[in-house]
Structure 1
Amino acid sequence: MKLLKTIPNLVLTLLVSGTSLFAQSGKVEYSEFNLNNGLHVILHQDNSTPIVTVAVMYKVGSKNEQPNRTGFAHFFEHLMFEGTENIPRGEYAKFVERAGGTLNANTSADRTYFYEILPSNQLELGLWLESERMFHAKVDSLGIQTQKKVVIEEKKQSYDNRPYGSILIETMKRAFREHPYRWTTIGDPDHIRAAKDEEFQTFYNTFYVPNNAVLVIAGDINPEKTKNLIEKYFKDIPAGQNEIYRPHIVEPPLNGEVRDTIYDNIQVPLVLQAYRTPAMNTPDYYALDMLGTLLSGGQSSRLYKELVDNQQLAISVGSFPLPYNEPSVNLTYAFTNMGVDPKQLEEAINDEIKKVQEKLIPEKEFQKLQNQFENQIIGGNEKIAERAHNLATYYTYFGDASLINKEIEKYMAVTREDIQRVARQYFTPDSRVVLYYMPKQD
């Protein structure tokens, strides 16, 4: 969902420069507590700039949907900007914009995230807005019908009519047969069309409740005053009473390569390999993430140097594990150079993977890899809004916000032997989906 608006120049400057305290310590300090209704609250104080991020992450994504009613979590990402009992329809975003701030939201397979970035003297506004969304969102026929049209049109524009737009849809439905990761957040428009108003209302009452959420306030705050404001706006919201659906589905092994060709409105063929891999916050995930950067992280990476520069088989390459809360896939892809047979490109990809499997990477290359991740992690916490998001994610996914300060240690614990081992263990033909994206013929 794109609700990002132009930020006033002053606020934009503050967003860019608000890094001094974190830069000095390299550690994200925070406090946390629970309200009686089950809402978990995390406070991160950084008074270096007069801005504040108010964020709520709900533990609901596309994996919490039913197979015949997909797309609900993404639908609510839109619907919850419709308005509330106390905010007129279409006015939600205007409150933030008039206060000189910005707001946005996004949905994944595992969670839904809403946030506002505001001048710190508008903290109370942000808290009121999020409490309204949590307790008084308009889930009525008019809003539902309006957003049905919006999300169905988004599916057409961003997926159906966009070159390569169906990659994740086509990949996941082949990589998974039982787990709800087999569908993506956009869902099926037919499911959205068929759903009745009561189904959406039940979904809201089940998942968008304080005992299924974390509230993060980060930035220029006074912790005690902030706690009082949080209690003012959130403590009287009742805990949800419906059973919260958590899928406990262990996807069986793929047991053999799945290979297919997708004909799309494209001009450049694409080769994609999706290998089944473990979940985030597992030692092997960190090793696979480093393997992905080794293969495709920049112009000095192995796939880029060999396939793009040396052999000139590809014009672009990439490799990375999907950052999902449960076992998922690693995507490796390459766009073919003009006149190149996709089969030749695929063989070249396999050759580079085989090199990692057969021989330890040199110590110098490994040191560079470690430096890349250290810079990446520190950079990923520079801005206050990024820290708020990371704190919310670690708590929602793992129940442990302190992981924000342990991520570097986990990556630095990966050895050269680990990278070789995960390449051997997970990058095997019998655990992958291979797709060729080819131009449609007349």
Structure 2
Amino acid sequence: MRALSLAALLAATPALAEMPEGVTHFTLDNGMEAVVIEDHRAPVVVQMVWYKVGSADEKPGKTGLAHYLEHLMFKGTDKLAPGELSKTVTANGGSDNAFTSYDYTAYFQRIAADRLPLVMEMEADRMQNLRIGEEDWQAERQVVLEERAQRTDSDPSALFGEERSAAQYLNHPYGRPVIGWRAEMEGLTRADALDWYDSNYAPNNAILVLAGDVTPEKARELAEQYYGGIPAKEGVAREARPQEPQQRAPRRMEMTDPRVPQPSLIRTVLVPERNPGDQKMAAALTVLAELLGGSAQTSVLGQKLVMTGKALYAGAGYDGFAVDPTNFYISIAPVEGMEPADAEAALDQVLADFLKEGPDPAQLERVKTQIRAAEVYEQDSAHGRAYEYGQGLATGLTVEDVNDWPDELAAVTAEDVMKAADLVLNSTATVTGWLLPQKAADAGAEIAVESTPPVAAPVGADAPATGGPAVDAPAADIPAAATEETAQ
């Protein structure tokens, strides 16, 4: 299928509205949701179990607990010795792992279809029978501390990301790192982990996704057999989180580090997430991000900044998979010798021009075609489809929302894009951050706020815009997702 040309691929693919074909959704009596995605091209199946709890649900002072428990979930049960689950999966020719995000924690295995009962039995076992030995919890706490040292403390881009998030979210727990603050991680205990497990790990707080060589009938039979008998728990619904107060003024920050090779800017703005039954703005934000920064050759920022020799990199992005308001970002890394203030002024001018002129109609259609093609390719992967449904349901969407998403993207108009651009580029809920080499700071490089020109009102606006543009960071500074994955 990947060998087809784009035109042939799109022509050969049914209308995306028909995507639910081969997808089955049901709920067990104990409240566990299940999604089955049939794909019989290879005798392989992916099992994913998503818990609707993540680092943003941690109590103050306990950051890193969700990720810590994810590690401890591999420490065994009454039936399984520490590490035995992963060893068994590997011995049967499969692979497994887990990851934690702000809004969910997920565990998965990819294995031969005839071994599916084996991994379902083991996953169901640790859902209810986890054992954390006295010799395990301190050693694993040291493992996650070393992970933080390797992935975050030794990486100025990651440290910069933590600072930006803390500046963007003053009250919401999205401002805390998924892996946790070191001082709080050092205080996590076995009792903390067991309390988190007992409070959140239950079938009525979980989503089972099976994708691959399995029929809906067999999937339901196995789900009933292995998960159906696990009792539901009371009080596992997600608690209300502290929300951000209105941000009335843009925020700015600057961080220097001698390990940074070149200056880079990231600007983020608070924007809506994908909401159940209402994904129109999220779809427009997705298209806007691709128009502004999707390609160095064809995007607005690429053509106006990279291709003209003003920037080494310029990008934009948006990921609407979140329970609460998320970020739209724009980033730029100026060419060597260009002052940061000049680079920021050039960026702001391009954004102001986009608000005046709107998207090129032909480019808008090309971008929508590219997004649709990416969705088509995603459907070619059982794991990719499992991830899409799991992430969607874990962040509050419905199966129908996930199914409707390609149609939502296809329906985006130029007017929708400009509404999204107005929301993003005329917002005051922004954080503009510069990550600078030490030499730039020593040279007294100042980034003047007044260098930002006024942002033009979008086409058709009744009044001039107030406030500055909004956006987020260079490729090296942007993680693929706000997750922490366990290496097995």
Instruction: Mark yes or no: TM-score above 0.5.
Output: yes
SS in 1 for 2:135: helix
* 1:95 paired to 2:112: no
Pick from 252, 260, 266: which aligns with 2:260?
A: 266
- For the 8 Å contact 1:206–1:244, the answer to whether it is kept is no
What amino acid is aligned across from residue 254 of structure 2 in structure 1?
T
Question: Hey, what's the Cα distance between the residues in 2 that align with 1:199 and 1:168?
Answer: 27
Q: Is the 8 A contact 1:294 1:301 kept in 2?
A: yes
- Contact preservation (8 Å) 1:175, 1:254: no
Mean CA deviation greater in 217-226 or 177-186? 217-226
Q: Which deviations, in whole Å up to 9, do the C-alpha atoms of 1:145-192 show, x marking residues without a partner? A: 122111111111111101411233111111111111111211112212
300-309 vs 134-143, greater mean Cα deviation: 134-143
Structure 2 residue identity aligned to 1:125:
L
C-alpha contact (below 8 Å) 2:50/2:107 kept by paired residues: yes
Written as runs of structure 1 = structure 2, the 5 A alignment for 1:253-332 is 253-264=246-257, 265-281=259-275, 282-299=279-296, 300-310=298-308, 312-323=309-320, 324-332=322-330
Alignment deviations for residues 205-260 of structure 1 (CA, whole Å, 9 cap, x no partner): 11111110011111111333332222221122222234544224331221111111
Q: What's 2:456 paired with?
A: none
Q: Secondary structure at the match of 2:285?
A: helix
* TM-fit CA distance, 1:24: 6.1
Whether 1:38 and 2:35 are equivalent positions in the alignment is no
CA offset digits 1:101-140 (Å, max 9, x no partner): 1112222111111111111111111201211221122233
Task: State the distance in 1 between where 2:370 and 2:267 align.
Answer: 24
Equivalent in 403, 406, 414 of residue 405 of structure 1: 403
Give the number of aligned pairs: 421
Letter of the 1:168 partner, please give it: G
Q: Deviations over 1:46-93 (max 9, x none)?
A: 222111111101101111111211111121222212222211112221
- In structure 1, the residue corresponding to 2:50 is in which secondary structure? strand
Q: For 1:221, what is the secondary structure of its paired residue?
A: coil
Runs of at least 5 residues in structure 2 that lack an aligned partner in the other structure: 1-8, 443-488
2:359 to 347, 361, 372: 361
User: 1:391 Cα deviation (Å)?
Assistant: 1.6
The CA distance in 2 between the partners of 1:128 and 1:199, in whole Å, is: 26
Residues 241, 427 of structure 1: alpha-carbon distance in 2 compared, 3 angstrom cutoff: same
Structure 2 counterparts to residues 9-88 of structure 1, below 5 A: 27-28=19-20, 29-88=22-81
Change (3 A) 1:254 1:397: same
Secondary structure of residue in 1 paired with 2:409: helix
- Please point out which of 148, 160, 165 is paired with 1:155: 148
Residue of structure 1 in register with 2:451 after alignment: none
| Alpha-carbon contact 1:353-1:423 (below 8 Å) kept | no
Q: Which moved more, 1:408-417 or 1:238-247?
A: 238-247
Kept after mapping to 2: 8 A contact 1:260/1:435: yes
Helix, strand or coil for the counterpart of 1:344? helix
Tell me the TM-score normalized by structure 2: 0.82
| CA gap 1:322/1:227 in 2 versus in 1, 3 angstroms | closer
Identity among equivalent positions (%) equals 27
Q: How far apart, CA to CA, are the structure 2 residues paired with 1:213 and 1:435?
A: 37
Q: Letter of the aligned partner of 1:342 in structure 2?
A: P
Distance change (3 Å), C-alpha of 1:399 and 1:371:
closer
SS in 1 for 2:86: helix
Q: Secondary structure at the match of 1:279?
A: coil
Counterpart Cα distance in 1 of 2:41 and 2:238: 41
Q: Please state if 1:189 is matched with 2:182.
A: yes
The 8 Å contact of residues 43 and 223 in structure 1, kept in 2 or not, is answered as yes
Which sits farther off after the overlay, 52-61 or 393-402?
393-402
Distance in 1 (alpha carbons) for counterparts of 2:413 and 2:14: 28
Q: Separation in 2 of the partners of 1:363 and 1:121? A: 50
Shift of 1:399: 4.5
2:345 matches 1:351: no
User: Using the alignment, how far apart are the partners of 1:140 and 1:331 within structure 2?
Assistant: 43
Work out whether residues 148 and 179 of structure 2, in 8 Å CA contact, stay in contact via their aligned partners in 1.
Answer: yes
Counterpart of 1:14 in structure 2 is none
Q: What is the CA-CA distance between 1:23 and the residue it aligns to? A: 5.2
2:216 is matched with which residue? 223
Query: Are the aligned partners of 2:138 and 2:189 in contact in 1 as well (CA < 8 Å)?
Result: no
Structure-2 residue corresponding to 1:11: none
Q: Equivalent residue for 2:245?
A: 252
In 2, the alpha carbon distance for the partners of 1:404 and 1:56 equals 17
Counterparts in 2 of 1:408 and 1:242: CA distance versus 1, 3 Å: closer
Q: CA RMSD in A?
A: 2.0
Find the aligned partners of 2:406 and 2:56 in 1 and give their Cα distance: 29
